[in-house]
Amino acid sequence: MKKVALITGGTRGIGLGIAKALADIGYDLMLCGMRHEQSARDCLEQLRVSGSNVVYQQADVANHEDRQRLVDSTKNQFGHLNLLVNNAGIGPKVRADILDATEQSFDEVMTTNLRGPYFLTQSVAKWMIQQRQADAQFWACIVNISSISAEVASVNRGEYCVSKAGVAMATKLWAARLGEFGISVYEVRPGIVRTDMTAAVTEKYDQLLSSGITVQARWGTAEDVGLAVAALARAAFPYSSGSVFMVDGGLSVRRL
């Protein structure tokens, strides 16, 4: 029986890079995103070339009803779930100084980036526990995609940094709670990755990279993140639940 992964935000950017990497190692995929399925058709067909069964559902992880429909659809389509990848996330619509940022922007980012994956994990974890109790050999894990912004302060997008710091703590919490059931939880923390989210600040990051902000002087790619998640999906780190896996080109390395 093929393993199944549910990836939120899995049809563009980092999420698509993860989906490609998991399809390459034989996973079937349940993907969700905000856009209509027709708009995602091309990338869905590309993923199916590898032989994976790929199902897409339009869903907003910030919405309780959408999250429940997503879990129910996964049950109906596949009957089991081995891997949840909490990837969907947004940045603030306006990169405002924290002296000027609005409560509306804060609430919007926190609801999508933190509350959504937190409670999606709750729903999925209960199902994974049931699967483990029915079959002691059943393997499952959860991967949260956070950001270097969980620890690096950007004062013009404070709500994003706070949301990702929350994801980092949520990873520890779920790892601690699910350990007794043999379900590992990991955090993958990307650095400067070329996606549509960073497209508007390409010049800024080009300058930072050229000035040596990272050890490896290049942009990260969605494929880089996908390879990290695929390693976790192969159970390559069975004794590392709660760990943070950096995919940041050495940005977090302190240097003199």
Question: What is the rounded CA–CA span in Å between residue 229 and residue 18?
Answer: 7
Distances (CA, A) of 171 to 39, 161, 166, 234: 32, 16, 9, 19
Find the mean pLDDT for residues 202-209: 94
- Report in angstroms the alpha-carbon separations of 53 from 2, 5, 31, 129: 10, 11, 11, 24
Question: Contact, 175 vs 241, CB < 8 A?
Answer: yes
| pLDDT exceeds cutoff 90 at 99 | yes
Q: What is the pLDDT of residue 197?
A: 82
Mean pLDDT of 214-218: 96
Q: Is 160 a catalytic residue?
A: yes
Placement of tokens 């199944």 in the chain: 4
pLDDT for position 60: 98
Task: State residue 196's pLDDT score.
Answer: 84
Distance, in Å, from the CA atom of 179 to the CA atom of 69, rounded to the nearest integer, reads 27
Question: Using N-to-C axis directions, what is the helix angle for 116-134 and 158-178, rounded to 10°?
Answer: 20
pLDDT tier at 198, thresholds 50, 70, 90: confident
Alpha helices in 6-95 (DSSP H): 13-24, 41-48, 64-78
Q: Which helix (H) or strand (E) holds 222?
A: helix 222-233
Distance, C-alpha 109 to centroid of its chain: 15
Query: What is the rounded average pLDDT of the residues 240-244?
Result: 98
* Rg value, the chain, Cα: 18
Q: State the Cα–Cα distance between residues 22 and 240, nearest whole angstrom.
A: 20
Compute CA distances 252 → 138, 148, 159, 195, whole Å. Answer: 35, 8, 21, 20
Question: What does the alpha-carbon distance between residue 67 and residue 117 come to, in Å, rounded to a whole number?
Answer: 9
pLDDT at 183 over 90: yes
The answer, yes or no, to whether residue 228 has pLDDT greater than 90, is yes
For 36-44, which contacts have Cβ atoms below 8 Å and span 24 or more sequence positions?
A: 40/11, 43/11, 43/12, 43/16, 44/11
User: Is 90 exceeded by the pLDDT of residue 225?
Assistant: yes
Indicate whether 256 pLDDT > 90: no
**For residue 20, pLDDT beyond 90:** yes
Residue 114 is classified by DSSP as I
Burial (Cβ within 10 Å: 0-12, 13-18, ≥19) of residue 110: middle
Instruction: Please name the residue ranges forming H helices in 61-215.
Output: 64-78, 103-110, 116-134, 158-178, 202-210
Q: What is the pLDDT of residues 115-142, one digit of tens each?
A: 999 999 999 999 999 999 999 999 999 9
What would the mean pLDDT of 74-95 be, rounded to a whole number?
97
Distance CA 142, CA 120 (A): 11
Question: SS3 of 247, please?
Answer: strand
Q: Which domains does the chain have, with CATH numbers?
A: 4-244 (3.40.50.720)
Among residues 27, 56, 118, 160, the one annotated as catalytic is 160
